[in-house]
Amino acid sequence: MTTITKPDTRPLNPNFSSGPCAKRPGWSLEALNGAPFGRSHRAKIGKTKLKQAIDLTREVLNVPADYRIGIVAASDTGAVEMALWSMLGARGVDMVAWESFGAGWVTDVVKQLKLEDTRVFEAPYGEIVDFAKVDFDRDVVFTWNGTTSGVRVANGDFIPADRQGLTICDATSAAFAQDLAFEKLDVVTFSWQKVLGGEGAHGIIILSPRAVERLETYKPAWPMPKIFRLTKGGKLIEGIFAGETINTPSMLCVEDYIDALEWAQNLGGLQALIGRADRNFAVLDAFVEKTPWIANLAVKPETRSNTSVCLTIVDEDVLALPADQQAAFAKGIVSALEKEGVAFDIGAYRDAPSGLRIWIGATVETSDVEALTHWLEWAFQNQKAALKQAA
């Protein structure tokens, strides 16, 4: 069998997972020594830390002053579900999906909430829905960045400023790496485990004044679990947006998030984070453009994600294989790189087409992305040599 020479340079940080994502450069457990271990989150120190996390979120993301920011349970999923269950049903809703998480929100609205006046707009992996067909006088639910397809919206221009409905946006793999058009968004959700590399289990929900008005003037027809309740007696529970969480948060995770936010501030804030992700994407995209065996799953360049880059193997010999063997070929690349300790968790999402998914958000170093590209070539050539030998 042909021996393929291994690259000389290895990524210093091999963590390219799409969640939980890589920690910030230089991170260590010592950075979390300020966490109030063993203290109640209801105590002054606990509420102060939670409020600090909220305030730093506003500063780094440039969230408008009249938008509320709350820390909620169950990661981004919990935040999205809270919005769907609390706000939908007041008017018709357009559900927009082009990857698995967006499709999941469609399932919840159609099969769980069973809203009759629901329209569904879907696009296959690699493509995006034509938003010209979406009616923003209805409520609209969509993902800003499709984590499992690598397809994102280019900007917020497709949302009219005079919309009558609410826009509910799952932005979990976009926040802190893409410029969210908050003036066009009424509900924004994300989790700490994405672009800033926080620990899992906690979510953020951001509400515009229009979203607050909906919460205070509309009561859903279904029972509301406590974990989803944002109002009491027809009024917003303001404490949620000042650090008084509905359930018990991990103060260790809160400290970790604060550490990442302070790192982001020291870099220069949101534009510096976007710049890091864009530079990482430029390196990976240049490799893809010059490499004949691999391609972006996202068809249009303007919709390609700068965080969760999804790649498909287009080598003719591989494409000639049955679908299960194509998937096995891609998994072979993933396994080889994991065995070498140069790239962890870069396989395509389980519901997505077979291939690779490489996280290159703001906490990833560009030099590590550059080193990874050489190892991708090495792993492919090894797999290809084995394929030819087997034939």
Q: Average pLDDT, stretch 336-348?
A: 98
Q: What percent of the chain has pLDDT over 90?
A: 98
For residue 378, the model assigns a pLDDT of: 98
Tens digit of pLDDT for each residue in 31-66? 999 999 999 999 999 999 999 999 999 999 999 999
Domain boundaries in the chain?
A: 29-266, 269-390
Say yes or no to pLDDT of 391 above 90.
no
Tens digit of pLDDT for each residue in 190-221? 999 999 999 999 999 999 999 999 999 999 99
Tens digit of pLDDT for each residue in 88-139? 999 999 999 999 999 999 999 999 999 999 999 999 999 999 999 999 999 9
For residue 4, the model assigns a pLDDT of: 85
- For 269-390, give the CATH class: alpha beta
Tens digit of pLDDT for each residue in 234-285? 999 999 999 999 999 999 999 999 999 999 999 999 999 999 999 999 999 9
Q: Average pLDDT, stretch 74-85?
A: 98
Q: Is the pTM of this model over 0.95?
A: yes
For residue 275, the model assigns a pLDDT of: 98
**CATH number of this structure's domain 29-266, picked from the four choices 3.40.50.300, 3.30.450.30, 3.20.20.80, 3.40.640.10:** 3.40.640.10
Say yes or no to pLDDT of 72 above 70.
yes
For residue 175, the model assigns a pLDDT of: 98
For residue 140, the model assigns a pLDDT of: 99
Q: What percent of the chain has pLDDT over 70?
A: 99
Rounded to whole angstroms, how far apart are CA atoms 106 and 123?
Answer: 13
Tens digit of pLDDT for each residue in 142-195? 999 999 999 999 999 999 999 999 999 999 999 999 999 999 999 999 999 999
For residue 2, the model assigns a pLDDT of: 62
